[in-house]
């Protein structure tokens, strides 16, 4: 098979032109007109590259979802191999950057990089996928087995995927495997075969207000209680099990001369194994006040289940690594991360999921967000190889 690297290199100037337009269409989560405009632009770019592509657009309260469908020709007749492989590719169009970020962080290309808000996380990954599909189409090389490919692009990943999650899960149930176009890890672009799950908890504490000078003993300080509970909660962390509990926000009180009647603690939880969750949840829900005059109420729970490195995921990675080596001479590496993605949802349903297949760079959610130019063609070719041979 001729290397796909050459056509991938040839398509790079067009990709960078499209990338500029896509970055300049700012698309912060929760900003519906901006998200709509950016999704429309991406759909247009897809149609320009792949005229046969079918695009379904589903409006949600958090912006439009795009579902792009394409089929790859197969060398095998339907009769001899009736099982069609359903590949689900996943990405998001929203970014963490507020409108107007372009003024201080414009799209620009330097010697070795391209910069801009949302470029690494994850607009470049979306375009790399389109270009991978395009070079496969143009080469017209039949795939190993019949396969249909869905690219699912959501508008709400950065805020926990509240609208898109049910659709992602229903597509996952009908798919054979998932490829997530989030950025790779580090400047080597390692794939992600495990992600921690994310939970959050709000602990509300009611005490009893009193004048700090006149009637101190009548008061029950919610702040003091919150401090004591913070110590307890922080001790839920089990580093040896990849379980961390971070009491990240604390508020309370009304005045220095008043014993505080109210305090609130908010915690971020990262969890490597789903089976550790019920015990942790119970510990939160059974928190009891040290001062019996205080009352504690706890809300929250699991937002994203962990993506655990199951044997099926390990096998999928091994297959991908073998294909990358055989066709491109690439040495793929894997990694795990504490950050979540929509891959957490697909993996939790038992779907073999490979994440981190998008762009390579650094500074996601940071002012130095950028991608490396050198590996773009390699990543396009890698995706093309996987789409065709997995």
Which residues make up the interface to Zn ion (CB under 5 A)?
Answer: 121-122, 182
CB of 158 to Zn ion, least distance (A): 7
**In this structure, what DSSP letter does residue 220 have?**
B
| C-alpha span between 225 and 377 (Å, rounded) | 57
Nearer to Zn ion by Cβ, of 124 and 330: the residue is 124
CB of 8 to Zn ion, least distance (A): 23
CB of 197 to Zn ion, least distance (A): 16
What CA–CA distances, in Å, run from 289 to 201, 285, 301, 303? 17, 12, 20, 26
Nearer to Zn ion by Cβ, of 182 and 308: the residue is 182
Structure tokens belonging to residue 42: 């991406």
CB of 331 to Zn ion, least distance (A): 25
Nearer to Zn ion by Cβ, of 28 and 252: the residue is 28
Nearer to Zn ion by Cβ, of 8 and 90: the residue is 90
Write phi, then psi, for 302 (nearest 5 degrees). Answer: -80, 130
CB of 245 to Zn ion, least distance (A): 24
Q: What are the helix (H) ranges across the chain?
A: 5-10, 12-24, 32-49, 124-139, 165-173, 222-234, 277-285, 311-328, 343-348, 376-389
Nearer to Zn ion by Cβ, of 96 and 287: the residue is 96
Nearer to Zn ion by Cβ, of 219 and 343: the residue is 343
Residue nearest to Zn ion (CB): 121
Nearer to Zn ion by Cβ, of 131 and 195: the residue is 195
Q: Residue 14: which of 167, 111, 93, 131 has the closest Cα? A: 131
Q: What are the helix (H) ranges across 140-179?
A: 165-173
CB of 195 to Zn ion, least distance (A): 11
What CA–CA distances, in Å, run from 118 to 27, 63, 98, 154, 244? 9, 17, 11, 14, 27
Nearer to Zn ion by Cβ, of 337 and 388: the residue is 337
For residues 341 and 195, is the Cβ–Cβ distance under 8 A? yes
CB of 92 to Zn ion, least distance (A): 6
Residue with token string 């003024």: 103
DSSP, collapsed to helix, strand or coil, labels residue 12 as helix
| Upstream peptide bond of 122 is cis (omega within 30 degrees of 0) | yes
| C-alpha span between 13 and 306 (Å, rounded) | 38
CB of 222 to Zn ion, least distance (A): 37
What CA–CA distances, in Å, run from 128 to 121, 132, 164, 296, 383? 13, 6, 22, 49, 8
């Amino acid at each position: 098979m001729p290397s796909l690297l050459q056509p991938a290199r040839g398509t790079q100037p067009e990709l960078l032109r499209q990338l500029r337009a896509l970055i300049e269409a700012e698309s912060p989560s929760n900003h519906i007109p901006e998200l709509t405009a950016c999704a429309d632009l991406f759909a247009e770019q897809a149609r320009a590259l792949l005229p046969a592509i079918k695009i379904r657009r589903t409006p949600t309260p958090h912006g439009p979802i795009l579902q792009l469908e394409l089929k790859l020709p197969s060398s095998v007749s339907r009769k001899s191999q009736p099982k069609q492989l359903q590949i689900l590719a996943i990405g998001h169009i929203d970014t963490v950057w507020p409108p107007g970020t372009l003024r201080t962080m414009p799209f620009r290309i330097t010697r070795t990089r391209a910069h801009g808000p949302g470029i690494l996380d994850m607009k470049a990954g979306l375009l790399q996928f389109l270009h991978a599909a395009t070079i496969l189409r143009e080469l017209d090389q039949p795939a190993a087995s019949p396969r249909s490919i869905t690219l699912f692009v959501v508008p709400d990943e950065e805020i926990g995927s509240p609208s898109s999650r049910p659709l992602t899960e229903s597509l996952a149930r009908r798919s054979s495997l998932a490829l997530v176009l989030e950025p790779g890890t580090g400047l080597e672009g390692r794939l992600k075969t495990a992600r921690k799950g994310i939970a959050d908890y709000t602990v509300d504490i009611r005490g009893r207000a009193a004048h700090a000078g006149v009637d101190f003993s009548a008061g029950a300080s919610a702040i003091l209680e919150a401090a004591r509970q913070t110590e307890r909660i922080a001790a839920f962390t089990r580093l040896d099990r990849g379980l961390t509990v971070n009491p990240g926000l604390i508020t309370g009180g009304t005045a220095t001369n008043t014993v505080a009647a109210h305090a609130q603690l908010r915690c971020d939880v990262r969890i490597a194994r789903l089976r550790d969750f019920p015990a942790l949840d119970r510990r939160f829900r059974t928190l009891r006040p040290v001062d019996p005059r205080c009352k504690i109420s706890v809300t929250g729970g699991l937002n994203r289940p962990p993506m655990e490195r199951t044997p099926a995921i390990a096998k999928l990675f091994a297959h991908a690594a073998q294909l990358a080596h055989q066709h491109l001479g690439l040495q793929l590496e894997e990694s795990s991360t504490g950050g979540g993605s929509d891959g957490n949802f697909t993996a939790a349903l038992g779907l073999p999921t490979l994440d981190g297949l998008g762009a390579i760079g650094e500074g996601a959610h940071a002012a130095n967000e950028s991608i490396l130019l050198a590996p773009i063609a390699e990543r396009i070719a890698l995706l093309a190889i996987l789409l065709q041979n997995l």
